[in-house]
Amino acid sequence: MLLSVAIHEAGYDVGSPILKDIHFSVNEGELVGLIGPNGAGKSTTIKSILGTVKNIKGSCQAADYAYIPERPLLYERMTLWEYIEFLLTTLDTDEKTYMDLAHKLLERFQLSHVIHQYPENFSKGMQQKVMLILAFLRQARLYIVDEPFMGLDPRAVKRLLQSLRLAKDGGAGILMSTHVLDTAERICDRFVLISRGQVIFQGTLAEIRTRSGLKDGSLLDCFDVLTEEESDVGK
């Protein structure tokens, strides 16, 4: 098991929990989709895993991981190549293997021509590609990915899916939060559905279809049924 989440309560203010009873795991070679409506608690769940939520009761145990944020996090006045060189200094890896992979990723995400430019001046989509390249360069055992398709063009999305598949085939585990349910349906092995700060269901698409009563329903249709049920319960 690469990720084990057992959150009893978590939130930003003492006495005001956003999450309650969040329990799930991610195993080797598995892509788990974290899905839910806006404000459901997906981002707080990820921040709890990353250790940036201070008021937490429970535990989150994660293997060596790489994090791909929803919004690119960049330093000023560092070129793309300087980012790549700096990351190398933080890793215990063979330099030639690392550089070979760096050039493959730069070509895959079509950024080879801007390696000496500043990512702070890139478009949102290009900045997101920088985050992807740096994450995959880590060759981590676990990837935590928050809304990775934001700002990416269709070709970049295809390259991202290719990279996720290669990582998974290599034994990595992936936790991916996303609103793009048609894509999630095609690539995720299991799903964790969060609503109102709680896990309301988790399982494979077949299990979600059974729970929702939609034998051949899409993930989106099942999602609507299950979240509507949760809303009715809360009334």
- The alpha carbons of the chain give a radius of gyration, in whole angstroms, of 19
Looking at the fold, whether 144 and 213 belong to one and the same domain comes out as yes
Whether 157 is covered by a domain: the verdict is: no
Q: How far apart are CA 227 and CA 84, in angstroms?
A: 42
Looking at the fold, whether 209 and 121 belong to one and the same domain comes out as no
Looking at the fold, whether 70 and 135 belong to one and the same domain comes out as yes
Looking at the fold, whether 31 and 145 belong to one and the same domain comes out as yes
Would you write out the chain's pLDDT as a tens digit for each of its 235 residues?
Answer: 999 999 999 999 988 999 999 999 999 999 999 999 888 999 999 999 999 998 999 999 999 999 999 889 998 899 999 999 999 999 999 999 999 999 999 999 999 999 999 999 999 999 999 999 999 999 999 999 999 998 899 999 999 999 999 999 999 999 999 989 999 999 999 999 999 999 999 999 999 999 999 999 999 999 999 988 765 555 4
Number of domains in the chain: 2
CATH number, domain containing residue 185: 3.40.50.300
Render the burial of 222-231: b for 16+ CB within 10 Å, e for the rest: bbbbbbebbe
Whether 77 is covered by a domain: the verdict is: yes
Classify residue 143 as left (phi > 0), alpha (psi -120 to 50) or beta.
beta
Domain with 185 in it: 1-54+140-149+165-235
Looking at the fold, whether 144 and 99 belong to one and the same domain comes out as no
Whether 155 is covered by a domain: the verdict is: no
Local structure of residue 51 (DSSP, 8 states): T
Q: How far apart are the first and last CA of the chain?
A: 37
Q: How far apart are CA 37 and CA 218, in angstroms?
A: 16
Looking at the fold, whether 132 and 144 belong to one and the same domain comes out as no
Looking at the fold, whether 194 and 114 belong to one and the same domain comes out as no
Q: How far apart are CA 221 and CA 218, in angstroms?
A: 5
Looking at the fold, whether 43 and 145 belong to one and the same domain comes out as yes
Does pTM surpass 0.85?
yes
In the prediction, which pLDDT does 230 show?
66
Looking at the fold, whether 184 and 122 belong to one and the same domain comes out as no
- Other C-beta atoms within 10 Å of 92: how many? 4
| Structure-token pair, residue 224 | 């609507």
Looking at the fold, whether 41 and 144 belong to one and the same domain comes out as yes
